[in-house]
């Protein structure tokens, strides 16, 4: 049986949870509102501030959806109550990041600056301190959107294995390779 699917989800104060017809799960909280379409076989029950997810049978399809939808709803509740954040670090000589509102401008060693429009659900802040690598801070209540935006920014210049230059997540370990050695 799914260990993740069996775990109950605690509902914090100030967060509203509802399942409408057609199994559309809606979670409202202080940071925003999220909705997720759920398979009709999966059922939710709310008792004493705890949400439990149930499946009808032990079929492989039901077992896999059980843990998936439990995780998605738990992330929605966490997002509307506390929010999520990701930090990206620009490693390389001359790499810069700045933002004007929701427009992120990156200088990544190309002949042109890279302009990237960030959706309104994601808040962006570019921090540049002297002597340190520039850092892009992304915060949002939607974990899926936040991860997608962070991955798209990282894709502009992925970290390369020889010098380690590129855009990486803060704390990410890059596997390094040895370069060529000179002939004798």
Residues 135-156 have a mean pLDDT of 96
Q: Which one, of 27, 135, 16, 18, lies nearest residue 86 by Cα?
A: 135
Confidence band, pLDDT 50/70/90 cuts, at residue 23: confident
| Residue 107, CA atoms < 13 Å, CB-side half-sphere | 9
Task: Provide the CATH number for the domain around residue 20.
Answer: 3.90.930.12
Of 55, 81, 107, which residue constitutes the final position of a domain? 81
74 and 90 share one domain: no
Residues 92-100 have a mean pLDDT of 93
Per-residue pLDDT reduced to its tens digit, 28-38: 999 999 999 99
Is 179 among the domain residues?
A: no
Q: Tokens standing for 99?
A: 């933002």
74 and 93 share one domain: no
Q: Tokens standing for 167?
A: 């855009």
Beta carbons of 66 and 76 less than 8 angstroms apart: no
Is 62 among the domain residues?
A: yes
100 and 76 share one domain: no
62 and 131 share one domain: no
107 and 75 share one domain: no
126 and 51 share one domain: no
Kindly report the number of other CB atoms within 10 A of residue 144's CB atom.
15
- pLDDT higher than threshold 70 for residue 105: yes
9 and 63 share one domain: yes
92 and 55 share one domain: no
Per-residue pLDDT reduced to its tens digit, 53-81: 999 999 999 998 999 999 999 999 999 99
Is 97 among the domain residues?
A: yes
Is 176 among the domain residues?
A: no
Of 81, 114, 131, which residue constitutes the final position of a domain? 81
DSSP structural state of residue 145: H
Is 96 among the domain residues?
A: yes
> Strand locations in 21-120, DSSP E?
24-28, 33-37, 43-47, 50-54, 84-91, 96-100, 103-107, 114-117
DSSP structural state of residue 8: -
Beta carbons of 164 and 179 less than 8 angstroms apart: no
Total structural domains in the chain? 2
**pLDDT attached to residue 4:** 87
Residues 101-118 have a mean pLDDT of 94
Is 58 among the domain residues?
A: yes
Which structural domain range is residue 116 located in?
84-169
**pLDDT attached to residue 184:** 63
Q: Print burial letters for 79-103: b (CB count within 10 Å at least 16), e (below 16).
A: bbbebbebbbbbbbeebebebeeee
Instruction: Return d(Cα 159, Cα 67) in angstroms, integer.
Output: 33
Is 178 among the domain residues?
A: no
- pLDDT higher than threshold 80 for residue 90: yes
Beta carbons of 90 and 108 less than 8 angstroms apart: yes
163 and 95 share one domain: yes
């Amino acid at each position: 049986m799914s260990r993740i699917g069996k775990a109950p989800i605690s509902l914090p104060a100030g967060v509203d949870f509802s399942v409408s017809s057609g199994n559309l799960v809606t979670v409202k909280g202080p940071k925003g509102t999220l909705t997720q379409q759920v398979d009709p076989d999966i059922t939710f029950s709310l008792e004493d501030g705890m949400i439990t997810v149930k499946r009808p049978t032990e079929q492989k399809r039901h077992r896999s959806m059980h843990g998936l939808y439990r995780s998605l709803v738990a992330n929605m509740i966490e997002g509307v109550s506390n929010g999520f954040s990701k930090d990206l670090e620009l490693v390389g000589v001359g790499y810069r990041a700045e933002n004007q509102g929701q427009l992120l401008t990156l200088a990544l060693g190309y002949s042109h600056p890279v302009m990237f429009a960030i959706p309104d659900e994601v808040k962006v802040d570019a921090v540049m301190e002297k002597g340190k690598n520039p850092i892009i801070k992304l915060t949002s209540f939607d974990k899926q959107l936040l991860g997608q935006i962070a991955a798209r920014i990282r894709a502009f210049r992925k970290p390369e294995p020889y010098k380690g230059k590129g855009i990486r997540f803060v704390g990410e370990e890059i596997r390094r390779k040895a370069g060529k050695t000179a002939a004798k």
